[in-house]
Amino acid sequence: MSLPRGAQPRLELPDPLLAGAAFLAWLAKIGGDEELSVCEYQWKLSKKNHPTPELEDVDLYEYVRSLGRELIVKWPEIIKLTPKGNKWATMWAIHYGVDRGHHGGSNLRRY
């Protein structure tokens, strides 16, 4: 079922905050999983480009743990969005205006 034109979807908690939503939008755009070292770099970049006082001193591991395993998981060398987490991340990215869309943009796996 789709929403009526102009209607806003109900956002599920937790709120990832602006920098978190930017990071999650990037992760969702590249397929939902990436190596830990690349994620750490992108996390720092998201916090720099989208300053969020609540996340200023939060490292990636702490952030991922705060969201819960239902949405995002950290394996020894990988960060991965769950299927539910992918949908949740996209909704919040749209809400914060940092969604990267499905097409368009460069290949984000080039570093």
pLDDT digits (tens, 9 = 90+) for 71-82: 999 988 999 999
% of the chain exceeding 70 in pLDDT:
83
**Domain of residue 54, residue span:** 17-96
Determine the pLDDT at residue 61: 94
User: Within a domain: residue 102?
Assistant: no
Any domain includes 62: yes
The token pair at 69 is 């395993």
Q: CA-CA-CA-CA torsion for 25, 27, 67, 62, nearest 10 degrees? A: -120
Give the count of domains, the chain. 1
- At residue 101, does pLDDT exceed 80? no
| CATH number, residue 45 | 1.10.10
Question: Is residue 47 a part of any domain in this protein?
Answer: yes
- Residue 110 above 50 pLDDT? no
Asked if residue 9 is part of any domain, the answer here is no
**103 within some domain:** no
* CA atoms of 2 and 60, how far apart (whole Å): 34
With respect to residue 36, please indicate whether it lies within any of the assigned structural domains.
yes
pTM equals 0.84
